[in-house]
Structure 1
């Protein structure tokens, strides 16, 4: 069940369905990143990023319309070679027949496709908007808890300005009422959205778990509501899809009206639109791969350019000078400057670097709080034991 990746049978594996479901979100993230890269050179692209939800919903509407009209599947499902089939239970027989026809004989979409649009385009768009409103409400709540409500801090100033200018204008009253209504709506969304999100995600997880355990043939609650099973496309279905696409396009070319040059222009535009739609799947995936490769290329180049150069270590600082009032150093470097005997338990004073007997320097630093040679301030905490004498 878990390793049915070879494509045997008509039932898709859990991994195929999960990949098809995650494709729109991955595609959106890649497109947002690509537009952000272009916006660094072309600032007017920021206008598209300001309406990111609307732009992506319009793009998915075009792709889903073309995919449902031609392949009997959504855009992500057709990319993985899957097809949708409606489940109709027969009373006389114990088996079921699969049939799903998103288009009428005239090439127009039926009511099932409009429900698919609601499930795949409208609901994700509304979910994204609710998520953004919820995030803004959380930020406002956090800011109010830390710094206080901005409306309360400026109430006295606003009230004073209204009193100085006389009676309030009707437009100001309407604006304030509208602002209160929007704020109330944001608070409602902030309170209800977590429960709604948890409920939908929990239901989706339950369907996915049941599908993984072969307890149901529906991967999501939307497919269950439509009564649609997702199956692998056979060779005959692929041939039927190609013939259906050619019939629809020939019928659309026959409906062209006007002079010959106008028909030629319209035919060229249709051919360009068909080419874009035919290669939209591979083109989008190739674009994502291309931008990711360019990101890696430029990132590695910047890392190479900004890599720190290896320089030789700097020379050590000069030794501290011996103070005139300090203890003079003995000519033999192995003797302790304090007791003038062979050093026992040699220890260095970190502030000056001179080596003494541990007992001698400990007593001197405890009493005078300084180095005996340089007279620099020092404490017993700056004494370090040496395991090899110099």
Structure 2
């Protein structure tokens, strides 16, 4: 999966880096959706959704640690055939003059850089997610207070501290509980006040680095890579071939470190083999799960739309004509003849209660006098007479 479209050398394109950065968010959305679907039949899985941040952080901790350990790349970067390389800048002096120029040399990642990479890839996104949820709760509380007419709630930290102190001091809770509530509410107020600025600063720096990377003004795609002194490069063919042998050596050393009786070594070896198998197929399995559940989402969404779409029924048949009363005026055989004057209709008009057509002058005079239809004897008034402008 080495996408070299528009790329030159070992430097990845902007689209490769953007795709690698957005993959964890897409993976989280797909896992959350799949667990939510399964939770409809297994309510026990709702507990996993209650701790969604912790569950996904633990999963990414395992995947990122294993990927950085074996391939010197994050989980998403290894999927796109990318590798992380430490940047060593050294100065070279010419033999003739005193001019010097800087040369950039790439080398493998140090253990410190791998640990810090896990921190930037897993720990900081987890903390950001928790801060975002706390901010949303504080925002909802502020909105609810404003809807109920309490305008004193807000993100004014200094004023909120005084208000919370007065409320807690007059309560009936014990000292420890009141301190915990006060600290928690103060923390929520601080997060509600500071998080928008932190989020805006983070997004602004991220946008600036991505724009500079797109314009070839820097080799760092993000602030985290710049702080760690790491460049992301395309893996060469030889590096991709050496990855499997490198993983085999690491696993062989881990098996040699097993200690204890033979049965314990066998059990530990079986557990290691299962773990290795899960890690080997984690990338393929998770990406396949993303596409599978996205396809299922599209399938069920299309089915729901078809089921919820309004059904277009054919128009109902017209009602049968009203019955002619025995004491009423008989209908003429010619449909263009007025039943009242037995002449060709002039200014044809219909009585809405029965639907029969007469001359306007004839039906107006008859209805005014008898208050009924002359054929069906159904009650009618002059307000129920309608002119027809197309004589059928």
User: Per the shorter chain, which TM-score range?
Assistant: 0.7 to 0.9
Distance 1:360 1:198 in 2: 81
For residues 11 and 312 of structure 1, the distance between their equivalents in structure 2, rounded to whole angstroms, comes to 63
Confirm or deny: 8 A CA contact 2:258 2:265 kept in the other structure.
yes
> Does structure 1 retain, via aligned residues, the 8 Å contact 2:347–2:387?
no
Aligned to 1:160: none
Pairwise CA RMSD: 3.8
Where 1:91 maps in the other structure, the secondary structure is: strand
1 CA distance for matches of 2:297 and 2:381? 55
CA distance in 2 between partners of 1:250 and 1:189 (Å) = 48
Q: What's the counterpart of residue 189 of structure 2?
A: 187
Residue in 2 that maps onto 1:99: 107
Deviations 1:23-78 (A, max 9, x none): 00000000001101111111111111100000000000000100100111111100
Deviation by residue 1:280-315 (Cα, 9 ceiling, x = unmatched): 100101122223334445556677788888876543
Distance in 2 between residues matched to 1:310 and 1:256, nearest whole Å: 71
- In the alignment, which residue of structure 2 is the partner of 1:58? 58
Q: Tell me, yes or no, if the aligned pair for 2:351 and 2:373 is still in contact at 8 Å.
A: no
Q: Partner of 1:145 in structure 2?
A: 146
TM normalised by structure 1 equals 0.78
- 2:156 aligned partner: none
In the alignment, does 2:262 pair up with 1:254? no
- Structure 2 CA distance for aligned equivalents of residues 192 and 89 of structure 1: 37
Aligned partner of residue 214 in structure 1, secondary structure: coil
CA distance in 2, matches of 1:304, 1:240: 52
- 1:43 to 1:360, Cα distance in 2 relative to 1, 3 A: farther
Per the normalisation by structure 2, the TM-score is 0.77
Q: Which runs of 5+ in 1 are unaligned?
A: 103-109, 153-166
Alignment of 1:247-326 (within 5 A): 247-297=249-299, 314-319=316-321
In structure 2, C-alpha distance between the alignment counterparts of 1:137 and 1:337, rounded to whole Å: 79
Range 305-314 or range 193-202, more displaced: 305-314
Aligned to 1:116: 117
Change (3 A) 1:202 1:379: farther
Provide, for residues 313-332 of structure 1, a one-character-per-residue CA deviation record: whole Å limited to 9, x for no partner: 5433344578999x968535
Q: Does the 8 Å contact 2:354/2:373 carry over to 1?
A: no
How big is the shift at 1:18?
Answer: 0.7
Secondary structure of 2:31's counterpart equals: helix
SS of residue paired to 1:49: helix
2:80 is matched with which residue?
A: 80
Instruction: Give the equivalent residue in structure 2 for 1:158.
Output: none
CA distance in 1, matches of 2:383, 2:197: 62
1:21 partnered with 2:21: yes
Aligned to 1:90: 90
* 1:202-243 Cα distance to aligned partner (Å, 9 max, x none): 221121112112221111111111121111000122233223
Paired position in structure 2 for 1:221: 223
Structure 1 counterpart SS, 2:88: strand
Provide, for residues 58-111 of structure 1, a one-character-per-residue CA deviation record: whole Å limited to 9, x for no partner.
Answer: 000000100100111111100000001122211114321112324xxxxxxx22
- Unaligned 5+ segments in structure 2 are 93-100, 154-169
How big is each residue's C-alpha offset from its partner over 1:171-230, in whole Å with a ceiling of 9 and x where there is no partner? 2x4434433432333233223222222221122112111211222111111111112111
Are 1:40 and 2:14 matched, yes or no?
A: no
Cα 1:339/1:211, change in 2 over 3 Å: farther
1:145 is paired with a residue whose SS is helix
Matched residue pairs, number?
A: 359
8 Å CA contact 1:88, 1:97 repeated in 2: yes
**In the alignment, is the contact (CA less than 8 A) between 2:206 and 2:223 conserved in 1?**
yes
User: Are residues 323 and 121 of structure 1, via their aligned partners in 2, closer, same or farther at CA, if it must alter by over 3 Å?
Assistant: farther
Q: Provide closer, same or farther for how the CA distance between residues 133 and 260 of structure 1 changes in structure 2, counting only shifts above 3 A.
A: same
CA distance in 2 between counterparts of 1:324 and 1:185 reads: 90
The 3-state SS of whatever aligns with 1:229 is: strand
Alpha-carbon separation, structure 1, partners of 2:185 and 2:361 = 74
- Higher-Rg structure is 2
| Cα pair 1:350 1:384 within 8 Å, conserved | no
